[in-house]
Amino acid sequence: MRLQGGKNGIRGKQIALFFAKPCCGEVFLLESEVVMVSDSCKKRFGKIMLEQMELLEQVEIAPNIFSMLLKGQMVSQMQAGQFLHIRVPDDSKLLRRPISIAEIDRDNLTCRIIYRIEGGGTAIFSQLPLGSFLDVMGPQGNGFDLSPVRAGDHALIIGGGIGVPPLLEVAKELHAKGAQVTAVLGFADKAAVILESEMKKYADVIVTTDNGSYGRKGYVSAVVDEMTQDYAAVYSCGAPAMLQYVDRKFQDHPHAYLSMESRMACGMGACYACVVHVAGQDESVNKRVCEDGPVFETGTIIV
């Protein structure tokens, strides 16, 4: 990508802007304003915006796992299962960090994201003071399709570890539709359990831990294999082994979905750093997690 530069006067100040020029149109980031890509880019990428989002709250909810509440106009466009691409406020960190959206409050224009410290960039996020502004690109990716579920239907959520957060908004919206939601959530141990109480507001929750220190001992697969209920839809996000199980078990289900986790670079589908192979095709046929996903139907990709 070629770097572009520019200046804009905001409230009497001159702000120097340096940003990547995407494959089409240009993106300008203005302080406290939302700026969208050009119309041609919107047709390809959807309503991806750049915005300075305000950090209202940050809490460590488990060892090295943080919940962050952000406020901004782009919340009005967010859908369950999408993610944000956030710039680290450190010039030595060139790549944005993709973080899934855990909760959406369109009335108050706030969203909640939950992330785990994986390196220097996310460690910087964890130290930001309240009132900070984060350079956010989003909402990105294709979210979960909730339309197959109607009032009175049963829906199943399967989540593991740091893959649980994007499923919270799914449970909330399905509950609001009048669906009966069951959530099976797996974690390594008791200390790693997150969002159980929040999920219980919207679903019947079963928690498993690998070592049996909390909930049922074992993996989510053992619980799901015992279930006899027919579900209108299945929604999942977690580690590759868990998603492989979900993909096998529900590959013929008409409405079963996987949310993939992947390292990303551009986050807009241009660099092909986050590809997955398409099921039934040779390895030259790929889909991009950032643009075609992160949500895919079961049986359509190689997990």
Tell how far CA 205 is from the center of its chain: 21
Annotated binding site: 97-100, 114-116, 121-122, 266, 271, 274, 290
Helix (H) / strand (E) element for 44: namely: helix 39-45
Residues belonging to the binding site for FAD are: 97-100, 114-116, 121-122
The Cα 4–Cα 21 span in angstroms is 6
Binding site residue list for [2Fe-2S] cluster: 266, 271, 274, 290
Backbone angles phi, psi at 44, to 5 degrees: -90, -40
Q: Is 5 exposed, middle or buried (0-12, 13-18, 19+ CB in 10 A)?
A: exposed
CA distance 87 to 23: 19
Contact status, residue 58 vs residue 68, Cβ threshold 8 Å: yes
Q: What is the DSSP string of 153-206?
A: -EEEEEEEGGGSHHHHHHHHHHHHTT-EEEEEEEESSGGG--SHHHHTTTSEEE
